[in-house]
Structure 1
């Protein structure tokens, strides 16, 4: 009832403000306007996002930017004499003197051609020197600069340097604000590939920006308790032929290679672009688990070597049919091959229990493809448009593995093979409509259809063992209304979703397992922004989220097995719902900007990992999932983009999260009880950039992730320090970079557990490495900021839903 009351009051306020704004005839009678259209003098094509500056006696009065079709309109100007300057990077500035009088309140400058500036075209800079963090109404945007690119060869390594984000050093699983229930998007689209896998395959140089959407609006799918991480790949749109080349080698226990290039060609009504990334290398990981299970005390040692080769490409085009019609297409193609060879050694303290050695050799392939079509119709009114988008993706990932169990006491061997065929398909169709009802009010409507299908076949020793088919359909409609009133921005919306999921799991010799969900839900969202001054901004938001059980979480077929552990899903899981509240404050100072915030989550039926004794074999355990009791989580965050000196800048972030975890677990072998644990997690990061000369820079970064307490395990703290340097050559078109990661070799995953018996362990990956890379940028360099599709850029919110 409280939420409904808030929404009613909010909409009532909007209506009241609209009534107030509509009664201002006096202002209209005593003010004028300036309009026009800006084009490229050589191509006659419209130029979007050109700066229009209005000056009175050399003092800036107001301004604006051109729309997608090159037009601009500046209203509410006093009836005076002005100078209008048209400014755009790569072009000569044009000045126009105009006079607004009682007889001539409306001045149309008609078509204004801009001429290329040959001097400005000499330097081509595709990637900025320093990463910047921008706080918007519903997201935090990290524009990736050279400092972050040099901080890691892949997207996964970059993520460890992003505020609020953590990457598990053992599994590469990603979490946001201390929670792994986060949705990963690539160019605003979901992917069928495992997030941990694709983060290791995207070269850092192919990333344009990373968006952290902790409280998504009703416009976006509500999945992911902690929000959305959107990785936007480069799409260059400069006129002419432009691009960049990147090559790097990482030296660890074995060398690893990563290369990429970005190209685009823009002429006339067409823009062609593409990027390609290549990764190849071998990685090692080893560790141990010390188990104190009564009468079965043991030490389990793991030694694993991973080898991976991947190719990731994106190719696309934009066709600007005319000023009001745009067609776009792109495709992502990913091909990878990987292999894992390892051994598991079981040493029991009791000499009457046979020691075991289990070597395994697994080879897998992955071919994923995405095809995206988009059509956008722009109406005469600026910002008024209709957009239709269709996205199809497919992921084929077969696997072939050989396992051998060797009894070190008797000498007996037992081998078996696993053959897995896995195919996933995903289709999304969006229809979005945006209408600026007035200068201060914007309405957004949309429909979405999403269909997923996964089929899997598993053979044991070349004989059928199991298969399953999983289908999911989501049909949704959303509405958002944004309103600006003086220093306030309001936006409220709701998303209605019909969710259907059905799966059937078949196993040889067992009854079929079934899973089915049919849920109709409403997901409201509200955003309020207050800007008391240019240097201060407050933001309050609310959204309702859902985490539906994933395929791996509900699949009762055994996922993997060790001599003492089987992993499988739980088909009885139900979705967990989260009500998320957030407040942020951004302060701009002379040395940069600082953003601080607090959030609170109320979680219903939280889905959590559990481990318990196998009821059919008390010498083994089962790793699975379960719904625990309702939970609360809250936290604070502070991050800053600061320039302490001309030669020293830093990105700093601190965050702390508190959560109460409740649930029924196996406290001791065969004994279950209700347990409640209060846990606090602390994270800190700092990335310093030191500018020694115009072309020479040094980077020193460090991160710390604190102790994390769960119902059954305690994860020990993690920390590391990295050092890097970059040097510009070839008149700024080339950059040589080097990095030494994990200087003190401290990065490892370690845990301690007490339930259902005492256990502790650690895993250490190949984290101490040295990297050397070279980046070269070339092209004609004229900077033309053409429009990107709304959903591709994933920035449809703007600043409070207004123009």
Structure 2
């Protein structure tokens, strides 16, 4: 609480400091007035939110910004001589002399500003359709209006991104067919479970999505299949500006997705804020047929949920001077959820009583992030030192009430409390040794902890505490020579983990791990021509068990199934190799690539029996190999037709010891091949009218115990610009043929099959309005947040 109060006071002080530049001086008997109107020289249209700065002897006296009509009036000025500067990003600055000593009122009438071609090179434009940019170590998807209208949440957007798959039932995310992926928000980890994060972030709050399949040594090596970084909106335009997004998705019930972005930049300060709201009811149903020996049954699920989430981002950048920048922001995420429904178990044999369970689950979540950043630029361009401190806290209590009918009626409650904390301190140093060589060094300290407690029928049952600390140092060296670019680096990391599980009536369970590892990475790029480039990369990575994977306290429960973690999991390591080729053509660019992974102690889902219940948990399997290819293109076939296309296929050999029949365990291996395809077309009917047609196919996937059947769907949408381009109306109809559902088959430890359905067929309508003016000029706040490679030495 003291930390929050201190931050509020600190921010308030900064606002006060800024306000001092515009406080009106004491009214003199003979006060002066300066007024005028600002317009665009080409269009003659008025320019709102232009900065008007009044100076005396090179010192700022006061100032103002123009109104929506481009006018301004500054009163209560002493009768002296002033210089008035008209400043607007993207336009040339104009200085005017105002001699109030000769006349107590100066009216400049109309002043026309001329665009500055140099500044315009930094202008960002929000695209109608999403674009894909391939960098040396990542793929960047700039989220356009087509993706925003694809769904209400981050999970629905990611499900339309190449190489990414999101399970619509559980929100579990995978990259190139592997679920061991690390999710970052604005480049920072979060203590929230990835599935929870994807459900709570409104789609309209997302600016970019970065897929980092082979990260350099500068990045934390966690996430075997790579990193997905979700970049939230943050404007940095001069003056005051913003946007409003409102959308409604109609399934069985309506779901609201709204956001508000605001930005004010003046002088040395840039203030920004974002608020996202997500609310709706969701309906799911499904069944599972279990061919258990002497216990064959059918489970029927009817699940409903009601979720409300609020996501707020508030921060500022302060340019102390040309060499020093200080920044702060906070993310506050508050959500409430209610899950309710029933599970019915129908036994074939009359010897077993059918079961019927009602459940009512209420949960809350408050996640808060505070981020401080200080950057020092030295005299040499690109030579800088940056210190960043990030703190994240997540509090998520849950209370569930169950009623069982199995001949007799019984009821019980589950209370689960979870508190997670995460602190990261980064120190990064960059030094361009020559025009073609760059050195990067860094240190990092990371501490993550969670505390869980479980009460059964309001009585203590168990608790689980888990803490891990990481200390790391990295170094990378980048070199460019003619058409070649090379970068090599390594990260040394000390990892310590300690866990304690206590359960009433049981001995304490303890776990401790202490690992010192080195993670090398290498990137090699060859630019054959301006339109043809090759990239070869290697990295060693680790996937440490997540907090949810090691937590033995139940995640969810049904009459026949409990889901929980495994505290005995050990980290899995992987060596990853990639080769990519990018071809630029007259109609766009095409990137194709192949990859190979060698995986040690792979972490995966496992199902086993325990008495009359099944346990869904995690375990380490044997070493595994995976390889595949992917092709993606961002193409403009005609002036009126453009498309994003992606294909990927991979093969993996999975092996491990599993329960093949109840109580019997054997070593098993399987070869699995999966294929995925997506296409999103945009048709420009007129200058303001766009039509979208998209489709996706997710092929069969195979694990040691289950086979997931293919899934596909087709969507259609449209968008129309109004209010002279300041507003956009968009609409979308998803899953036209209602073909999207999840189904599976299994034969270990017994034959089973099932299917789950959700509100996949839905209609969306949204409205986006942009107000204010000014040109984008992003503050280079954090090097690793920029949309460019971090490992090429800045030479590409």
TM-score of the alignment, normalized to the shorter chain, above 0.5? yes
Question: How far apart in 2 are the matches of 1:118 and 1:178?
Answer: 47
Q: 3-state SS of the aligned residue for 1:224? A: coil
Residue 644 (str. 1) matches residue 643 (str. 2): no
2:705 aligned residue: 712
Match for residue 474 of structure 2 among 454, 478, 497: 478
TM-superposed CA distance for 1:796, in Å, is 5.7
Q: Is the 8 A contact 1:436 1:802 kept in 2?
A: no
Q: Map 1:209-608 onto structure 2 (within 5 A).
A: 209-407=208-406, 410=407, 412-608=408-604
Match for residue 726 of structure 2 among 733, 742, 745: 733
Q: Is the 8 A contact 1:426 1:451 kept in 2?
A: yes
1:631 aligned residue: 624
1:203 aligned residue: 202
Match for residue 759 of structure 2 among 758, 766, 775: 766
Match for residue 778 of structure 1 among 771, 776, 788: 771
TM-superposed CA distance for 1:89, in Å, is 7.8
1:173 aligned residue: 172
1:54 aligned residue: none
Q: Which moved more, 1:187-196 or 1:586-595?
A: 187-196
1:138-182 residue CA offsets vs partner (Å, 9 max, x unmatched): 000111112222222221111111111111121111110011100
TM-superposed CA distance for 1:43, in Å, is 6.7
Q: Is the 8 A contact 1:159 1:167 kept in 2?
A: yes
Q: Is the 8 A contact 1:398 1:421 kept in 2?
A: yes
Question: How far apart in 2 are the matches of 1:798 and 1:93?
Answer: 37
TM-superposed CA distance for 1:556, in Å, is 3.1
Question: How far apart in 1 are the matches of 2:588 and 2:787?
Answer: 26
Question: How far apart in 2 are the matches of 1:798 and 1:222?
Answer: 14
Cα 1:557–1:277, aligned 2, differ >3 Å: closer, same or farther?
closer
1:64 aligned residue: none
2:115 aligned residue: 117
Question: How far apart in 1 are the matches of 2:743 and 2:527?
Answer: 45
Question: How far apart in 1 are the matches of 2:531 and 2:617?
Answer: 49
Q: 3-state SS of the aligned residue for 1:148? A: helix
Q: Is the 8 A contact 1:483 1:801 kept in 2?
A: no
TM-score, normalization: structure 1?
A: 0.84
1:395-431 residue CA offsets vs partner (Å, 9 max, x unmatched): 0001111011111xx3x11100111111111100000
Question: How far apart in 2 are the matches of 1:116 and 1:397?
Answer: 54
Residue 675 (str. 1) matches residue 668 (str. 2): yes
Q: What residue ranges of structure 1 are gaps of 5+ in the alignment?
A: 1-39, 46-87, 95-113
TM-superposed CA distance for 1:44, in Å, is 12
TM-superposed CA distance for 1:383, in Å, is 0.1
1:174-219 residue CA offsets vs partner (Å, 9 max, x unmatched): 1100111000000000011111112122122211111000000000
TM-superposed CA distance for 1:569, in Å, is 2.5
Question: How far apart in 2 are the matches of 1:429 and 1:115?
Answer: 45
2:63 aligned residue: none
Q: Which moved more, 1:412-421 or 1:650-659?
A: 412-421
Question: How far apart in 2 are the matches of 1:136 and 1:43?
Answer: 41
TM-superposed CA distance for 1:639, in Å, is 0.2
Q: Which moved more, 1:651-660 or 1:740-749?
A: 740-749
- Paired residues in the alignment total 695
Q: Is the 8 A contact 1:507 1:557 kept in 2?
A: no
Match for residue 662 of structure 1 among 651, 655, 658: 655
Q: 3-state SS of the aligned residue for 1:90? A: coil
1:154 aligned residue: 153
Question: How far apart in 2 are the matches of 1:129 and 1:778?
Answer: 17
Q: 3-state SS of the aligned residue for 1:238? A: coil
TM-superposed CA distance for 1:802, in Å, is 3.1
Question: How far apart in 2 are the matches of 1:147 and 1:798?
Answer: 31
Question: How far apart in 2 are the matches of 1:791 and 1:469?
Answer: 32
1:602-630 residue CA offsets vs partner (Å, 9 max, x unmatched): 0011111111221xx2x222222221111
TM-superposed CA distance for 1:552, in Å, is 2.6
Q: 3-state SS of the aligned residue for 2:552? A: coil
Question: How far apart in 1 are the matches of 2:93 and 2:274?
Answer: 33
Cα 1:173–1:507, aligned 2, differ >3 Å: closer, same or farther?
same
TM-superposed CA distance for 1:801, in Å, is 4.0
1:204-236 residue CA offsets vs partner (Å, 9 max, x unmatched): 221111100000000000001100000111111
Question: How far apart in 1 are the matches of 2:51 and 2:449?
Answer: 51
Q: 3-state SS of the aligned residue for 1:471? A: strand
Q: Is the 8 A contact 1:169 1:747 kept in 2?
A: no
1:20 aligned residue: none
Q: Is the 8 A contact 1:41 1:115 kept in 2?
A: no
TM-superposed CA distance for 1:797, in Å, is 0.9
Question: How far apart in 1 are the matches of 2:791 and 2:617?
Answer: 41
TM-superposed CA distance for 1:788, in Å, is 2.8
TM-score, normalization: structure 2?
A: 0.85
1:193 aligned residue: 192
RMSD value over aligned CA atoms? 2.1
Q: Is the 8 A contact 2:203 2:257 kept in 1?
A: no
Q: 3-state SS of the aligned residue for 1:438? A: coil
TM-superposed CA distance for 1:116, in Å, is 5.0
Cα 1:148–1:663, aligned 2, differ >3 Å: closer, same or farther?
same
Question: How far apart in 2 are the matches of 1:443 and 1:44?
Answer: 44
Cα 1:434–1:722, aligned 2, differ >3 Å: closer, same or farther?
same
Cα 1:285–1:626, aligned 2, differ >3 Å: closer, same or farther?
same
Q: 3-state SS of the aligned residue for 2:197? A: helix
Q: Map 1:27-42 onto structure 2 (within 5 A).
A: none
Q: 3-state SS of the aligned residue for 1:476? A: strand
Q: 3-state SS of the aligned residue for 2:433? A: strand
TM-superposed CA distance for 1:93, in Å, is 11
Q: Map 1:41-190 onto structure 2 (within 5 A).
A: 90-91=90-91, 116-117=114-115, 127-190=126-189
TM-superposed CA distance for 1:551, in Å, is 2.4
Q: 3-state SS of the aligned residue for 2:292? A: coil
Cα 1:372–1:260, aligned 2, differ >3 Å: closer, same or farther?
same
Question: How far apart in 2 are the matches of 1:798 and 1:589?
Answer: 26
Question: How far apart in 1 are the matches of 2:520 and 2:177?
Answer: 24
Q: Is the 8 A contact 1:790 1:796 kept in 2?
A: no
Question: How far apart in 1 are the matches of 2:590 and 2:93?
Answer: 34
Question: How far apart in 2 are the matches of 1:44 and 1:675?
Answer: 78
2:74 aligned residue: none
TM-superposed CA distance for 1:117, in Å, is 3.1
2:79 aligned residue: none
2:615 aligned residue: 622
Q: 3-state SS of the aligned residue for 1:673? A: strand
TM-superposed CA distance for 1:322, in Å, is 0.4
